[in-house]
Structure 1
């Protein structure tokens, strides 16, 4: 993305101390649309046009471009691990119930524990990142996942097994927040990179059920967590080597991009972040979205087995859903640009509701499996669209903290809604899954109506 200085006033044109208004118009290389940011700086702080350029220009040398690609691959690998993690539970859930002799309500404690870890991680993320820096916190998150999988792999007593999910959730929240905040801070091809980032998540979620379904049919079913342990270890090594425990500003500088100018003290920054109405609306939207995604991927296998007569291979339906998610995030980019991202969310959500009604009301195993995959295609682009939208409506100097909170808090939905599903299923049966999903998708539309389409001035 080439950044143009559309209005830089000469230093000699103004007396000392005068405040100069600069307009930086950043052109999206894919859409051709302009996103205009205005900032007021003291004239003495911008002695030359070149210094203003250095604050906004992105990677220009071959070495910087290689470094930028390497950093992007590292955060993508983090999301691949997150996708593999989320795609694991669905195929293993019936086996976990059988091994530990627990019903729907008790097995849902897995999701409660995971939720607690996510919420704690989201709450701690802003403080940890400010205190220790982006690079250290990302590695810490991956180390926490290694610990969680090490607890789960030997199939310990159920309470200990559940504890492993909390440890894992804490680590996932830190990494999910960091990866999304890093991509949101990039100035070049942000929308496309968000789509790729979350398509990689979907790829992990596609691969995981293929392996987990095989382990679910074996005596050492819990050894599947050793696969996750290996991926998490590789993630620790990659994050350590690429980011070298540096903060985000230093990492961005390495690729030729200076960070956005801060807007006040740390205390004032926290006050501004949590005073943003748009932030809380988008965080709730993400919580619902992630909850729908993980609930559908996690419980659809049980639903198909119990109500549609599916066999052991029903675990592959979960792969079909996450495969649809991956496909949608890449192939529907042109629709997002054609109709506009805001309208695209309404379109995808309404079509997903229609297909979910097919899964609910049409008693067909094959038809249901196809509809679930298509729901994945439609839901796929929504998450990266929301993250990209946040970059347009939230203050740039608060964006890293805001994205981190949205991603971390939103991931709690991956525990809350699946637990609610299990609690309802224990009372009225797994047939409650589809009404719950349809109603939650309706709430998605409601919250998207409330999300502002333009930034609000922050004092």
Structure 2
């Protein structure tokens, strides 16, 4: 029987004998009983790389290639990519927390330094705008012959602008891009300054502050997201809001000098902010031009690198345009956004109330000279500036959560001293220390809240938080003005201390998520 078999095989000289090979693996990559990753990972083909050139070898008798050229997974067919794998990979590159991407810095890429400069100059202009009413309110009351309650409408107009803009931030940014959106925000602010510069009748003044608040809201949400997403975001946010503090320090000095030394009408101050807003529009448009294309290129490159085989050429992400109001309401349901919004509501309410009404308190309760006590607001904003520049980095090293507890408690103690110590100089020093302690609070809050949000939620979430913050910046000063009209300006201090207590309660509920360093 063996002889017959040998005879049959040897009788086929035209057919070369083939060695048996392993069958192709047909099992699936996913197993029901094994925990799976959220993203599909396809290993690239690995080849042996000889350390030195090797002489060419002849193929074996069976026709198989040499070992150095054999792919480690040659016997396995390529895994087909299903819809769920593709969706998970797109989600990973669409801003979820599991996607890993290199963090930019202020210096890398090169244009980031000019973009950061543009944000700082815009925030400087906002500081000039927000700090001036504290020094100008007594002269506005005299010019229009109105009281505390009516002049407080300027804060309401500013807050309504913030809230209205929060509905359109996402849509404007998606349709125009960051460069045009920044420029548009500055042009809208410039329109509000035109109304103020013209010394229009008082009903038009809150409208001018409405436009200013609208433009500030558009810029502030995108600026916070840009700085908070950089490497060492707390420090970048500290410098950004420190620029706001510099403007807040200079603003009352210029405003008080114009109305007391130069004897000009209060509205002439806003020519300065008008010129800066127009200059900022041009700078932002130049600095951010093409930045959206850079982000899209990086996103497409990273996505195409992961997908292998037939899906290597992805056309890009298709993000449906969401309804602005629905997106805002969805963001407001997040615990981080809600607590962050209440925290900033109380913070900005206390900040604007102290800045706007401490001069009136010193004039009414301490018999201060308007031409002298007008500079106390400058001391308050100088304290905020120093706090943001000097205390933001220590806050990041110590831990934002722990640091904010101490500075807010300290601010409440010194605010109590302003209320109880009947001395103008002592009150001025205490107000400056309150500003110093409040300085790093906003950058710390922005860093902590943005770390708790995913990337695609940040612009809408920060817009909601900014809108709530401006609402606090209107509700608290307006309430202070109404109560001051009825019982006296001393109500500023219990209102501020109550808002500090609200800040501590909200801060306790915010989660503390460590910052990524990759």
TM-score bracket for the superposition, by shorter chain length: 0.7 to 0.9
Bigger Rg, which one: 2
Shift in Å, 1:257: 12
Q: Which shows bigger deviation, 223-232 or 127-136? A: 127-136
Q: For the Cα contact (< 8 Å) 2:349–2:475, is it kept in 1?
A: yes
- TM-score for the superposition, normalised by structure 1: 0.83
Equivalence for 2:333: 275
Which of these residues, 418, 430, 437, is aligned with residue 496 of structure 2?
437
Q: For the Cα contact (< 8 Å) 1:185–1:400, is it kept in 2?
A: no
Equivalence for 2:241: 198
Equivalence for 1:27: none
User: In 2 relative to 1, CA 265–324 (structure 1 residues): closer, same or farther, beyond 3 Å?
Assistant: same
SS at match of 1:181: helix
SS at match of 1:155: coil
Which of these residues, 209, 214, 218, is aligned with residue 252 of structure 2?
209
Q: For the Cα contact (< 8 Å) 2:234–2:392, is it kept in 1?
A: no
Q: For the Cα contact (< 8 Å) 2:258–2:269, is it kept in 1?
A: yes
Q: Map of 1:234-313 to 2, 5 A cutoff?
A: 234-244=279-289, 249-250=292-293, 265-267=320-322, 270=327, 273-311=331-369, 312-313=371-372
User: In 2 relative to 1, CA 182–42 (structure 1 residues): closer, same or farther, beyond 3 Å?
Assistant: closer
For residues 163-185 of structure 1, the C-alpha deviation after alignment (integer angstroms, 9 at most, x for no partner) is 21111111111111121122123
Shift in Å, 1:425: 0.8
Equivalence for 2:44: 11
For residues 9-55 of structure 1, the C-alpha deviation after alignment (integer angstroms, 9 at most, x for no partner) is 84358963589xxxxxxxxxxxxxxxxxxxx9549x99xxxxx98x5
Equivalence for 1:24: none
Equivalence for 2:154: 110
Q: Map of 1:34-49 to 2, 5 A cutoff?
A: 41-42=88-89
Q: Map of 1:17-416 to 2, 5 A cutoff?
A: 41-42=88-89, 55-56=101-102, 58=104, 65-186=109-230, 188-217=231-260, 218-244=263-289, 249-250=292-293, 265-267=320-322, 270=327, 273-311=331-369, 312-416=371-475
Q: Distance in 1 between matches of 2:414 and 2:513?
A: 31
For residues 292-313 of structure 1, the C-alpha deviation after alignment (integer angstroms, 9 at most, x for no partner) is 1111111111111111122112
Q: For the Cα contact (< 8 Å) 1:57–1:257, is it kept in 2?
A: no
Equivalence for 2:25: none
User: In 2 relative to 1, CA 137–195 (structure 1 residues): closer, same or farther, beyond 3 Å?
Assistant: same
SS at match of 2:374: helix
User: In 2 relative to 1, CA 57–125 (structure 1 residues): closer, same or farther, beyond 3 Å?
Assistant: closer
SS at match of 1:412: helix
- TM-score for the superposition, normalised by structure 2: 0.74
User: In 2 relative to 1, CA 251–138 (structure 1 residues): closer, same or farther, beyond 3 Å?
Assistant: farther
Q: For the Cα contact (< 8 Å) 1:349–1:378, is it kept in 2?
A: yes
User: In 2 relative to 1, CA 400–377 (structure 1 residues): closer, same or farther, beyond 3 Å?
Assistant: same
SS at match of 2:146: coil
Shift in Å, 1:329: 1.1
Shift in Å, 1:266: 4.3
Q: Distance in 1 between matches of 2:299 and 2:240?
A: 21
Q: Distance in 1 between matches of 2:256 and 2:437?
A: 25
Q: For the Cα contact (< 8 Å) 1:144–1:168, is it kept in 2?
A: yes
SS at match of 1:11: coil
RMSD: 3.2
Q: Distance in 2 between matches of 1:232 and 1:306?
A: 35
User: In 2 relative to 1, CA 97–365 (structure 1 residues): closer, same or farther, beyond 3 Å?
Assistant: same
Q: For the Cα contact (< 8 Å) 2:353–2:477, is it kept in 1?
A: yes
Q: Distance in 1 between matches of 2:236 and 2:459?
A: 16
Equivalence for 1:33: none
User: In 2 relative to 1, CA 97–443 (structure 1 residues): closer, same or farther, beyond 3 Å?
Assistant: same
Q: Distance in 2 between matches of 1:252 and 1:384?
A: 25
For residues 201-244 of structure 1, the C-alpha deviation after alignment (integer angstroms, 9 at most, x for no partner) is 10011111110011232242211111111111111111122123
Shift in Å, 1:374: 0.5
